[in-house]
Amino acid sequence: MARQSAGKAARKDMPEMPVVDDKTIDFETIELLFFAYRDFVSDPDAILAKIGYGRAHHRVVYFVSRRPGMTVADLLNILQITKQSLARVLKELIDSGYIRQMAGPADRRQRRLYPTLAGRELALALSEPQSRRIERALDGFTPEMREGVRRFLEGMSRPDPSAAAEQVGGD
């Protein structure tokens, strides 16, 4: 009986869940996205594990290498993480010699980020198996089909306007 009461108490603290018709959910595509993401990150994860790093390190090295000279604020905006989360990862990458941080030329308070040679090599080593995986998946696709895949991925990365409206009205 105490067990049942504890379960009910836990459910009371949960927010009210919307009623959803499961026939409207594209479970097949959701599962394919889960599996694609799992496999897409598996190769870099294995490389990162050997040097004691994780996915947060991968994202930082990737974007700093793609956009040398970006500011810390730019990186925070791209990654959508807290300053505290970024600070720990960035410090580790700087201390390990993968990233260097320099004052901005116009504003000395501005911190600009650059990959070192080792950082650039790491970013390429992590991206190469992902690029191979993408090429294998797109093999035989026409340019139009490839463009469709890019449009799909861009659409997936845009915020859902209905979710924002629900959050505003949900209070």
What's the rounded mean pLDDT across residues 98-111? 85
Is residue 171 domain-resident? Answer: no
Triad 82, 40, 60: Cα angle to 5°: 30
Structural domain includes residue 34 = no
pTM over cut 0.75: yes
Please name which of 132, 70, 124 lies closest in space to residue 102, comparing C-alpha atoms.
70
- 75 within some domain: yes
Measured torsion, CA atoms of residues 70, 72, 73, 76, in degrees rounded to the nearest 10: 100
Least confident of 17-26, 36-45, 67-76, 139-148: 17-26
Q: Where is average pLDDT lowest: 14-18, 58-62, 111-115, 146-150?
A: 14-18
Q: Per the domain annotation, does 77 fall within a domain?
A: yes
Amino acid at 106: A
Say what percent of the chain tops pLDDT 90. 71
- Say yes or no to pLDDT of 15 above 90: no
From start to end of the chain, where are the E strands? 70-71, 99-103, 111-115
Tell me the per-residue pLDDT of 38-57, one tens digit each, with 9 for 90 and over: 999 999 999 999 999 999 99
Q: Which domain holds residue 51?
A: 46-156
Task: Provide the pLDDT for residue 5.
Answer: 52
Residue 150 has pLDDT above 70, yes or no: yes
Residue 99 lies in a domain: yes
* 113 three-class SS: strand
Asked, for residue 140, whether it belongs to a domain, the answer is yes
| Average pLDDT of the residues of the chain | 89
Domain assignment of residue 165, yes or no: no
* 168, pLDDT greater than 50: no
Q: Beta strands 99-103 and 70-71: pairing type?
A: unpaired
Q: What is the CATH number of the domain that holds 88?
A: 1.10.10.10
Residue 149 has pLDDT above 90, yes or no: yes
Number of compact structural domains in the chain: 1
Q: Kindly state whether residue 145 falls inside one of the protein's structural domains.
A: yes
